[in-house]
């Protein structure tokens, strides 16, 4: 691209590199040590490449290689790329949960973007928390930003079948606990599940967030589904590099893309994908960054006419390789047609409908038609309320057992996950399949970070009896790759003094999903009496550092678990210069 003098002067980076005297000397001179010629600093758009690469985040391990292709595109278009790292967090390793670090990553990115001479940014993310964190941080600074997720892994393999990240882990470990398979089979599955670079290839949180972000217009068409190992992803990265330079010239910022229409598209797409319950939390947080009204109830009311049309695990049969081969997000969007706001604006500079005008579905087993869905309309996420969850709780109906959608049962209550896991293995535990398992203090403040443990493993005696599902209730999240009749995100959480803190073993709980009701058959007076003298659990390690900040400031799940002081946008302006 050609930069005119007028455009160059308006570039944010020129506040640094265009300065004269000592200030400009300092900003330019030290950067010359990177081998950059002087004209690099004289009016070319400066583009950051934010990378959540880390050898501790296996799902993002290829992002440095991908960044090289982004750089080629940026140079080619006349921009100047600077790749930089941020905090990263991978689901498989980070304790107590990667979710504890999502807001830290977002804050890290926000501060780095604002503090540096960047005109635009390409966001390289992939693993569950990195994608929402990057969207949140970029939204709060609101400079031109283009997301490029790293793509899913190739399908897992096990004895002639395809196995899916996460989903098959739960299945294999339950089969093992029930004694139906041995350690050798488990070891084989473990070795064959993660066959390449990339994020989980089920429609878990990573694939859900990548696909939803593409539908919301924050990634280029075709970005979400293409496997990480596919060489076309390198081409996509190159094109993304070219596009971000144009976006700077067009001043195409996240606030122009992340509108109410985009969020409605994201919410509805997630239902049609059979996507993750974690998307609820991430979109609620992101909406609050950009000031778009979005409420928990939207995830229920906006999806009642949306069928699940993508047949991917955990709700269905296939994996991301099949989704891509069937046409990916483009085929998906064109199948949904007017069920989405096709006029929503995107990072291409065109609308969603224009982006995918020529998209076709190549395999109707994987991307179904609206009249042959995987799950009918109304089987998406439901938001339940009642005296047990005054501000709401969610259930993923598509992953739950139809016969448990209305259920009344005895509560068995545990104060901690560890206590539950210990008892669950005890064959003498007093439990029947009709009981309701309740685990508390696993919410955002209580754990802390709201781990993905809501899909509690069933008690061993229940599994051995051949029962595969029970109602489970908690203030936790669950992995996007998991399944079961699991009521999650109970708000307020127990550690915040919600009624969940006062349930006792033996109480009767009524679950009525069709009527969106979650009722504890205990009187208000009795609950008030039980609350007398109550105090929240003290989380070990929460007296200093990030955990202290997090526990003191995290908002509840119905608002997206952001920190209260990070909600909203602060923009790209920086304070006075020290030199």
What is the binding site for ligand FES (CB under 6 A)? 59, 90-92, 127-128, 165, 199-200, 204, 206
Between 57 and 441, CB nearer to ligand FES: 57
| Closer residue to ligand FES (CB): 190 or 423 | 190
Question: Residue 169 or residue 252: which is nearer to ligand FES going by CB?
Answer: 169
207 in contact with Mg ion (CB under 5 A) = no
Please report how close the Cβ of residue 208 comes to ligand FES at its closest, in angstroms: 10
Q: What angle do CA 100, 102, 107 make, to 5 degrees?
A: 115
Interacting partner of 200 out of ligand FES, Mg ion, none (Cβ under 5 to 8 A depending on kind): ligand FES
Are 537 and 441 in contact by the 8 Å Cβ rule? The answer is: yes
Provide the mask over 79-118, with x wherever binding to Mg ion is found by CB under 5 A and - wherever it is not.
------------x---------------------------
User: To the nearest whole angstrom, how small is the minimum distance from the Cβ of residue 207 to ligand FES?
Assistant: 8
Rounded least distance, CB 164 to ligand FES, Å: 10
Stretch that binds Mg ion, among 122-130, 213-221, 227-235, 534-542 (CB under 5 A): 122-130
CA distance readout (Å), 438 to 16, 482, 524, 531 = 56, 18, 19, 18
228 binds, among Mg ion, ligand FES, none (CB under 5 to 8 A by kind): none
Measured CA to CA, the distance from residue 206 to residue 147 in angstroms comes to 13
List b or e across 371-405, with b for residues whose CB sees 16 or more CB atoms inside 10 angstroms.
Answer: eebbbebebbbbbbbbebbebbbbbbbbbbeeebb
Contacts of 300 (CB under 8 A, 6+ apart): 380, 381, 382, 383, 516
Answer for which of 83, 128, 475, 559 binds Mg ion (CB under 5 A) is 128
206: partner contacted, choices Mg ion, ligand FES, none (Cβ within 5-8 A by kind): ligand FES
Name the residue nearer to ligand FES (CB basis): 57 or 335.
57
Find the shortest distance in angstroms from Cβ 550 to ligand FES: 21
Are the C-beta atoms of 549 and 277 separated by less than 8 Å? no
What distances in angstroms separate CA 194 from CA 4, 165, 169, 311, one per listed residue?
A: 49, 7, 11, 21
Min dist CB 478 to Mg ion, Å, is: 9
Residue-wise DSSP of 462-527: HHHTT----EEEESSB--TT--SSEEE--SS-GGGT-GGGG--TT-EEEEETTTTEEEE-S-HHHH
Minimum distance between the CB of residue 310 and ligand FES, rounded to whole angstroms?
A: 17
Given the complex with Mg ion, which of 346 and 479 has the nearer CB atom?
Answer: 479
Minimum distance of Mg ion from residue 501's CB (angstroms): 26
Separation CA 530–CA 438 (nearest Å): 17
Residue 261 engages Mg ion in binding (rule: CB under 5 A)? no
- For the CB of residue 454, give the shortest distance to ligand FES in the complex, in Å: 16
- Residue 435 tokens read as 């009981």
Binding test (CB under 5 A) with Mg ion, winner from 52, 57, 202, 205: 205
For residue 479, state whether it binds Mg ion (rule: CB under 5 A). yes
165 binds, among Mg ion, ligand FES, none (CB under 5 to 8 A by kind): ligand FES
Picked from Mg ion, ligand FES, none, the partner binding residue 92 (CB below 5 to 8 A depending on kind) is ligand FES
**Please, are residues 120 and 251 in contact by the beta-carbon 8 Å criterion?**
no
Nearer to Mg ion, 43 or 151 (CB): 151
- In the numeric block, the tokens 């195409």 are attached to 252
Q: Which does 303 bind (CB under 5 to 8 A by kind): Mg ion, ligand FES, none?
A: none
Of Mg ion, ligand FES, none, which one does residue 59 interact with (CB within 5 to 8 Å by kind)? ligand FES
Burial of 281 (0-12, 13-18, 19+ CB in 10 A): buried
Secondary structure element (H or E) that encloses residue 389, with its range: strand 389-396
CA separation for the pair 91, 499 (Å, rounded): 30
Site residues for Mg ion per CB under 5 A: 91, 128, 205, 479
């Amino acid at each position: 691209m050609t930069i005119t003098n007028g455009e160059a002067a308006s570039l944010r980076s020129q506040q640094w590199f265009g300065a004269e005297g000592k200030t400009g000397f300092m900003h330019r001179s030290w950067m010359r040590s990177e081998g950059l010629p002087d004209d690099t600093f004289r009016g070319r758009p400066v583009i950051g490449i934010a990378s959540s690469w880390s050898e501790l985040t296996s799902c993002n391990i290829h992002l440095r290689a991908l960044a090289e292709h982004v750089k080629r595109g940026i140079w080619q278009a006349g921009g100047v790329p600077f790749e930089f790292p941020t905090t990263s967090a991978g689901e498989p390793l980070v304790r107590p949960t990667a979710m504890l670090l999502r807001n830290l990553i977002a804050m890290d990115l926000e501060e780095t973007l604002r503090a540096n001479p960047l005109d635009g940014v390409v966001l390289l993310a992939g693993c569950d928390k990195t994608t929402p964190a990057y969207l949140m941080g970029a939204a709060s600074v609101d400079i031109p930003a283009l997301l490029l997720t790293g793509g899913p892994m190739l399908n897992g393999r096990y004895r002639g079948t395809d196995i899916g990240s996460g989903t098959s882990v739960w299945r294999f470990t339950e089969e093992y606990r029930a004694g139906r398979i041995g350690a050798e089979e488990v070891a084989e599955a473990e070795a064959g599940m993660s066959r390449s670079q990339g994020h989980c290839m089920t429609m878990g949180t990573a694939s859900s967030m990548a696909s939803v972000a593409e539908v919301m217009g924050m990634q280029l068409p075709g970005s979400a589904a293409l496997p990480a190992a596919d060489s076309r992803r390198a081409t996509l990265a190159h094109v993304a590099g070219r596009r971000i330079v144009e976006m700077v010239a067009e001043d195409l910022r996240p606030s122009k893309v992340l509108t109410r229409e985009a969020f409605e598209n994201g919410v509805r797409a997630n239902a049609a994908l059979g996507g993750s319950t974690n998307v609820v939390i991430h979109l609620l947080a992101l909406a609050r960054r950009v000031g778009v009204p979005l409420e928990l109830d939207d995830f229920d009311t906006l999806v009642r006419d949306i069928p699940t049309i993508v047949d991917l695990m955990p709700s269905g049969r296939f994996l991301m390789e099949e989704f891509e081969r069937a046409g990916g997000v483009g085929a998906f969007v064109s199948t949904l047609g007017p069920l989405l706001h096709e006029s929503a604006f995107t990072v291409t500079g065109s609308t969603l409908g224009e982006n995918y005008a020529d998209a076709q579905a190549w395999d109707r087993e994987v991307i179904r038609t609206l009249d042959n869905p995987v799950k009918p309309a109304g089987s998406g996420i439901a938001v339940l309320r009642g005296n047990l969850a005054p501000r709401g709780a969610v259930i993923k109906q598509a992953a739950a057992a139809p016969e448990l959608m209305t259920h009344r049962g005895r509560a068995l209550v545990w104060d901690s996950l560890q206590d539950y896991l210990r008892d669950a293995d005890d064959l003498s535990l007093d439990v029947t399949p009709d009981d309701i398992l309740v685990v508390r203090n696993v919410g955002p403040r209580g754990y802390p970070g709201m781990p993905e443990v809501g899909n509690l493993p069933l008690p061993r005696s229940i599994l051995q009896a051949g029962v595969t599902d029970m109602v489970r209730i908690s203030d936790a999240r669950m992995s996007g790759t998991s399944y079961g009749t699991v009521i999650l995100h109970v708000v307020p959480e127990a550690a915040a003094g919600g009624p969940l803190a006062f349930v006792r073993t033996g109480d009767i709980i009524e679950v009525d999903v069709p009527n969106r009701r979650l009722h504890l058959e205990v009187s208000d007076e009795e609950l008030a009496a039980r609350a007398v003298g109550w105090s929240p659990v003290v989380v070990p390690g929460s007296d200093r550092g990030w955990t202290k900040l997090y526990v003191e400031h995290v908002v509840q799940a119905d608002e997206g678990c952001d920190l209260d002081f990070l909600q909203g946008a602060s923009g790209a302006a920086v304070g006075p210069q020290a030199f």
